[in-house]
Structure 1
Amino acid sequence: MTLVLHYVNPNGQVVERFIGIKHVASTTTLSLKAIIDNVFSGHGLSIFRLRGQSYDGASNMRVEFKGLKSLIMKENECAYYIHCFAHQLQLALVALVKNHVDVQSLFNIVANVVDIVGASPKHRYILRDKQAMVVFEALKSDELSNGRGLNQDTNLKRSNDTRWGSHYGTLISIITMFPSLIDVLEIIADDGSTSEQRCEAKMDHLILWICALMLSFQN
Structure 2
Amino acid sequence: MRGEFNGLQKKIIDENPYAFYVHCYAHRLQLVVMSVASSCSSIHDFFEYISLIVTTTTTSCKRRDALTEAQHQDILDRLESGEISTGRGLHQSSTLSRPGDTRWGSHHTTLLRLDQMWSSVLKVLSTVDEYGRGPSQAAGLIEKMESFKFVFILKLMLKLFGITNELSKVLQRKDLNIVLAMELVNDVKARLATFRESGWDNLFGDVQEFCGANSILVPNMDEVIPVRGRSRREGRTVT
Return the alpha-carbon distance in structure 2 between the equivalents of residues 102 and 112 of structure 1.
Answer: 15
Q: Deviations over 1:139-186 (max 9, x none)?
A: 122221211111111211222232223222222211111111111001
Partners of 2:93 and 2:11 in 1: CA distance: 42
1:192 aligns with 132
Equivalences for 1:63-78 in 2 at 5 Å?
64=6
| Cα shift at 1:80 | 4.8
- CA RMSD of superposed structures (Å): 3.2
**More strand by percentage:** 1
- Structure of greater Rg: 1
The 1-side partners of 2:11 and 2:35 are apart by 31
C-alpha separation between the residues in 1 aligned to 2:67 and 2:126? 11
Task: Note the alpha carbon deviations across 1:40-75, whole angstroms, 9 max, x for none.
Answer: xxxxxxxxxxxxxxxxx699xxx958x6x7999899
| Deviations, residues 27-50 of structure 1 (Å, cap 9, x unaligned) | xxxxxxxxxxxxxxxxxxxxxxxx
1:179 aligns with 2:112: no
Taking structure 1 as the reference length, the TM-score comes to 0.59
Q: TM-score, normalised by structure 2?
A: 0.55
Alignment of 1:1-219 (within 5 A): 64=6, 80-195=20-135, 198=136, 200-211=137-148, 215-216=211-212, 217-218=217-218
Matching residue's letter, 2:74: V
Write the distance in 1 (CA, Å) between the matches of 2:48 and 2:72.
27
Supply the distance in 1 between the matched residues of 2:60 and 2:16 (Cα, whole angstroms): 49
Listed as ranges, the gaps of 5+ residues in structure 1 are 1-56
Q: Over residues 120-156 of structure 1, what are the superposed CA-to-partner deviations in whole Å (9 max), with x where a residue is unaligned?
A: 1110100000100110111122221211111111211
Distance apart, 1:191 and its partner CA:
1.9
Letter of the 1:96 counterpart: V
Shift of 1:81: 4.5
| 2:34 alignment partner, SS class | helix
* Whole-Å separation in 1 of the counterparts to 2:146 and 2:49: 12
Which of 102-111 and 70-79 deviates more? 70-79
Number of residue pairs the alignment of both structures matches:
156
In structure 1, what is the Cα distance between the partners aligned to 2:85 and 2:66? 24
What is the Cα deviation at residue 82 of structure 1? 3.1
- Answer whether contact 2:2 2:10 (CA < 8 A) is retained: no
Asked if the contact 1:130/1:180 (under 8 Å) is kept, the reply is yes
Shift of 1:95: 1.6
Mark the CA change 1:90 to 1:134 in structure 2 (over 3 Å): closer, same or farther: same
Over 3 Å counting, the alpha-carbon distance change for 1:137 and 1:76 in structure 2 is farther
Equivalent position SS for 2:70:
helix
Q: CA contact under 8 A between 1:87 and 1:162: conserved in structure 2?
A: no
